Amino acid sequence: MKNNTQTLKILVVEDSKVTLKVLSNYLASMGIDAPLIAETGKQALELFERERPDIVLLDARLPDIDGFDVARKIRKLENEDEWSAIIFLTAMNTDEDLARGIAAGGDDYLTKPVSELVFHSKVRAMQRLIEMQRKLVDVTRKLDTANAELQRLSTTDALTGIANRRSLDDFLGREWRRCLRMKKPLSIVMLDIDYFKLFNDKYGHQNGDECLKGVAAQIAKAAPRASDLAARYGGEEFMLVLGETDEGGAMWMAERVRQMVADMKVKHYATDSKFVSISCGVVSVMPNEKQTIAALIESADAALYHAKRSGRDRVVAGVYGKFQLG
């Protein structure tokens, strides 16, 4: 048993020197040579908070604080994923005493004078529970990490690392309702890489992927606020959601992104500048109950279409409700 109990940290709370000596000898025979010692409830709580022992052997009667109160305070000190076994040491052995100890947060009890055989058995039993609890906490943390990663993957575009269409739809819905409630403007920017198919055909799909990632990174840099979102809309098309932003602010943001992409200086034979460029369509609204997100997106798409027809590598402001592409 010695090797199995070496990692146990045990706090003994006992004001009787005789009992303390007996318990220390019992623990030494199990391979635990240096238990934490407290002779008062105050010392016990201070040691518990600092050391976080695995097992607390707690005298029910202490000179300053009742042992049952100490147990209750220990339970309050524990975090959600923490648990220390509390074994009461008591000369009381009635059913009422046992019930009181359990209600206070105890897990078991030892009747004084303490039998060495019973002592060893109960410490081993608590050790098994502690090991199971540690494994459960470990599994729970791994599951939490895995769930967080799944959540991230489900809302992130695998190639570019920015928000995907699902995340965009959720965010835009929330931001629409928030701006509606607060009577604030909401703007979106539709962005499209100019002549991207020709880029792919000329430079290959691997370079095309790198181009998409580079453009996405520039768009993301322009959306640092909690009310902003940069997302991949589909293919070479992206969207910026700008909460509490009017048309002037959205036009400025779109022009900034357009210039940031131009500054990347990624070669593209088919554009006028001979570098990768983007076209942008901007639409702003003050959301009301008669308007819809679908109409907002259609309006921005129409503005993007006009930016492309006007020569590309530019920003065009659209009007909510104007969907005609001609």
Distance (Å, whole) CA 73 – CA 251: 59
Catalytic residue among 96, 236, 244, 289: 236
Q: How many whole angstroms from its chain centre is CA 82?
A: 20
> Cβ distance 181 to 289 under 8 Å?
no
Hey, what are 41's tokens?
């409830």
The residue among 41, 30, 53 whose CA lies nearest residue 123 is 30
Q: Which residue has the tokens 């006007």?
A: 310
DSSP 157: -
Q: What are phi and psi of 286, to 5 degrees?
A: -105, 95
Walk across the sheet containing 10-13 and list its strands.
Answer: 36-38, 10-13, 55-59, 85-90, 108-111
Q: Is 116 a catalytic residue?
A: no
DSSP 177: H
- Which residue type, as a one-letter code, is found at position 165? R
Q: How many whole angstroms from its chain centre is CA 132?
A: 25
DSSP letters spanning 264-301:
T--B-TTSTTSB--EEEEEEEE---TT--HHHHHHHHH
Q: Which residue has the tokens 């060495």?
A: 116
Between the alpha carbon of residue 300 and those of residues 56, 221, 292, 293, 296, the distances in Å are: 66, 21, 13, 11, 6
Just list the catalytic residues.
236
